[in-house]
Structure 1
Amino acid sequence: MLKFENVSKVYDDGFQAVSSVNFEIQEGEFLVIIGPSGSGKSTTMKMINRMIPHTSGTITIDGNDVTKLNAAELRRNIGYVIQHIGLFPHYTIAKNIAIVPELKGWDKEKINDRVHELLKMVGLDPEVYSDRYPKELSGGQQQRVGVARALASNPRVILMDEPFGALDPLTRDQLQGELISLHQKLKKTFVFVTHDMDEALKLGDRIAIMKDGKLLQIDTPEKLLHEPAHGFVEEFIGKHRIMQNPELMPVTDVMNEKVLTSLPQRSPERALSFMRKRQVNTLIIVDEDDRLLGILPAHDLIAKMKDTKYIKEIMLSPKPYLSDSATARDAIIMMDEAPNGIIPIVDKDHKVIGVVTRGTLLSALSSQWTELEVAQ
């Protein structure tokens, strides 16, 4: 669908921001571009909608050279979300979302229906938020409006430039979860720029790693971890610290034993307060004997708490989970099946003793490798 062929960007002062980049993005794919500051990741993304013109090479969408398309029309057909949101402060929320459909000449009724549909989709009640102004919303709510605005004209491609970077960890995790759900539901093509590897691993179908304007590797998260194609890729994602021998490493060596659990009879308000105080984004639901019952991510809790009396009504299946006899390799393989990026670990009595996430997996294995290097 979207293709870069030998694309470079050189500024007037001679600085080469992007150097002969080649890759292709498939329809409906979620591609994350990541790299250190100055790597060219944001420049690469902004060349798609010609916010930054490329110097050489070819960028095509469905075989059409973007330089041959009308720039304004191109941008109206590509959703765009940035870190600082960019809502117009003197426009209501409904008006902010309606900007592109209005420019495209949609009739008023269609626009109103679309605004209401999108506000509901991003978890904001249109009866409450349509007539408010951006300053009346929290940062997380404003970012939801930014996502809704990007989706307003039903574009096939959505560009997102570090959209959650300025948010607190709980809000950020919640919006990441909602974005995953939106992607699965809408099947749009997403190009997402970040500097956070945990975010990239959580969101991306594939991850493109850049450094000094060059694309070093573009692969699935699992292939990046197992088969890094460049020394910097190893360093950046910690892969060379990962695989000593995961088949022999107990999963209990890579799990986090500090698990926030709750009984299923807790109210959603108390549960959310509990999570905020402990600064976690997922509750593990257990019975009176600490046996695993379910999982409750913060984004699901917030989205459904209005009509919920007890969290047992909205908790998700605990699967997948692992027993304490499993290995780190089992966790690595199973992580693909964990829709919330978390795997509970239980003992022989099905009692929760820990959890594994991509972050704890990488961190624990990284630490082990470092210890081995020191010992040698």
Structure 2
Amino acid sequence: MLKFQNVSKVYDDGFKAVDSISFEIPKGELLVLIGPSGSGKSTTMKMINRMVPHSSGTISINGKDTDSYVASELRRSIGYVIQQIGLFPHYTIEKNISIVPQLNGWSAEKTKARVMELMELVGLDPTIFAGRYPKELSGGQQQRVGIARALASDPEVILMDEPFSALDPLTREQLQGELISLHKKLNKTIIFVTHDMDEALKMGDRIAIMKDGKLLQLDTPEKLLHEPAHGFVEEFIGKHRIIQNPELMPVIDIMSESVITTLPQSSPEKAITLIRQRKITDLIIVNEEKHLLGIVSAYDVIKKLNSIQTIEEVMTPVEHFLLDTTSAKDAIIMMDESPFGMIPIVNDKMKVVGLVTRGSLLSAMSSQWTETEDTHE
């Protein structure tokens, strides 16, 4: 769908920012570009919409060379989300989102309908937010507007240049989850630049690791963890993240026994206080006997804060959980299916005994690998 063939970028002073890279991105994939500063990841992404012109090689979309497009038309056909968001401060939220459809000649009726649809899609009630201005929104809300604007003209390709890096951890975690859900729902091709390996492992269908303008490895997160193809890749990912024989490791060895739980009758205000105090993004809901009932996200509680009496009203029943007799391998497999990025661990009575998150999974594997190294020294 999107193809790079021997693409390079050389500046006038001779600096080679990107050095003859070749790869393909199939339709509907979320590809993460990651590497240290100066690796060429942002330059690679910006060459797709010709914000940065490539010096040699060919970039094509659906078999059509991007050089054959008028640059302005190419950019309007590709969604673009940046870290600074770039909303026009003197435009309302509705007008900010409607800019590209209007430039593409959409009718006022079609444009308005699309804007309302997208605001709902990204969790912004249009009856509340459409007439507001960017300064009246939080950073997370502004970034949701940025995502809606990128989707406005229904592009096939969306570029995202470190879109969440300036946000606080709670908001960042929420938006990562929402983007994963949107990607599954809309099947857009997304190229996502980040400097955060945990974010890359969480977000990417595949991850491209770059250094000094070269593409060192492009693989699935699992393949990168298991089979780093280059010494730098191993170091950059963190060699202690490499997973060793997870089928032999009990899930109870990698789970955290410190699980923040609350009752379904808890008020939303109490839930938000608990979330902020414990610096978490989701709450495990249990009954009086500690039996697993569901999960509540901070985002859902905040969104419905003034319209619910108890958090049970926004609780999501848990579909993904594991028994304490299963293995780490089961957790690795299930993690990709878990919409909250966590897996409650229960005993045979459905009582919560632990929790596995993406972070704790990698951390536990790291400890296991370190212990193995120490044993063999």
Q: Normalising to structure 2: TM-score of the pair? A: 0.95
Aligned mates of 2:72, 2:157 — CA distance in 1: 15
Counterpart amino acid of 1:69? Answer: Y
Match of 1:99, as an amino acid?
I
**1:335-350 to 2 correspondences below 5 Å:** 335-350=335-350
Counterpart in 1 of 2:171? 171
Alignment of 1:164-203 (within 5 A): 164-203=164-203
Between 222-231 and 1-10, report the one with greater CA deviation: 222-231
Is contact 2:240-2:367 (8 Å) kept? no
Report the counterpart of residue 218 of structure 1 in structure 2: 218
Counterpart residue number, 1:69: 69
CA RMSD in angstroms, aligned pairs only = 1.7
CA deviations over 1:294-317 (Å, ceiling 9, x no partner): 122333444455544332233223
Paired residue secondary structure (2:158): strand
* Cα gap change, 1:304 to 1:6, in 2 (>3 Å): farther
In structure 2, the partner of 1:262 is 262
| Partner SS state of residue 225, structure 2 | helix
Q: Is the 8 A contact 2:260 2:284 kept in 1?
A: yes
Specify the SS of the correspondent of 2:317: coil
* Distance in structure 2 (CA, Å) of the matches to 1:228 and 1:165: 26
CA contact (8 A) 1:238 1:362 kept: no
Q: Relative to 1, partners in 2 of residues 1:25 and 1:145: Cα closer, same or farther, differing over 3 Å?
A: same
1:244 to 1:115, Cα distance in 2 relative to 1, 3 A:
closer
1:231-270 equivalences under 5 Å are 231-239=231-239, 241-270=241-270
Q: In structure 2, how many angstroms separate the alpha carbons of the residues matched to 1:239 and 1:369?
A: 9
The equivalent of 2:46 in structure 1 is 46
Q: Secondary structure at the match of 1:207?
A: strand
Matches within 5 A, 1:8-87: 8-87=8-87
Structure 1 equivalent of residue 229 of structure 2: 229
The amino acid that maps onto 2:256 is N
Paired residues of 1:175 and 1:299 also in contact (CA < 8 A): no
Aligned to 1:136: 136
- Give, as a single letter, the amino acid of the residue that structure 1 aligns with 2:135: K
AA in 2 matched with 1:293? L
**2:255 touches 2:356 (CA, 8 Å); kept in 1?**
yes
Q: Is the 8 A contact 1:241 1:370 kept in 2?
A: no
Give the aligned residue type for 2:112: N
Shift of 1:322: 1.6
Q: What amino acid maps onto 1:372 in structure 2?
A: T
CA distance in 2 between partners of 1:269 and 1:48 (Å): 45
C-alpha distance in 2 between matches for 1:157 and 1:322? 36
After superposition, residues 105-120 of structure 1 pair within 5 angstroms as 105-120=105-120
Following the alignment from structure 2 to structure 1, what is the Cα–Cα distance between the partners of residues 136 and 107?
A: 28
Task: Kindly state the Cα deviation for residue 222 of structure 1 after the two structures are TM-superposed.
Answer: 1.6
2:240·2:370 contact (CA, 8 Å) conserved in 1? Answer: no
Preserved contact between residue 241 and residue 363 of structure 2 (Cα < 8 Å): no
Q: Secondary structure at the match of 1:372?
A: helix
| 1:131-155 residue CA offsets vs partner (Å, 9 max, x unmatched) | 2111111111111111111111111
Q: What is the rounded CA distance, in whole Å, between the counterparts of 2:279 and 2:161 in structure 1?
A: 25
Q: Is the 8 A contact 1:31 1:205 kept in 2?
A: yes
Contact 1:6/1:57, CA 8 A, preserved across alignment = yes
Q: Could you tell me how far apart the structure 1 residues matched to 2:159 and 2:338 are?
A: 26
1:228–1:239 Cα contact (<8 Å) kept: no
AA matched with 2:95:
K
Does 2:303 align with 1:280? no
For residues 187 and 160 of structure 1, the distance between their equivalents in structure 2, rounded to whole angstroms, comes to 15
Decide whether aligned partners of structure 1 residues 362 and 120 sit closer, same or farther in structure 2, where only a CA change above 3 A counts: same
Would the aligned equivalents of 1:30 and 1:190 in 2 still touch at CA under 8 Å?
yes
State the AA in 2 paired with 1:370: T
> Which letter maps to 1:213?
G
Distance (whole Å) between structure 1 residues aligned to residue 278 and residue 241 of structure 2? 29
1:309 — aligned with what? 309
Compared CA separation, residues 241 and 207, structure 1 to 2 (3 A): closer
Unaligned segments of structure 1, at least 5 residues: none
- The 3-state SS of whatever aligns with 1:47 is helix
Could you say what secondary structure the match of 1:153 adopts?
Answer: coil
Distance 1:327 1:42 in 2: 39
For 1:128, give the aligned amino acid.
I
Which shows bigger deviation, 42-51 or 243-252? 243-252
Q: Distance in 2 between matches of 1:226 and 1:358?
A: 16
Could you say what secondary structure the match of 1:247 adopts? helix
Query: CA–CA distance in 2 between the matches of 1:370 and 1:159?
Result: 37
Gaps of 5+ in 2: none
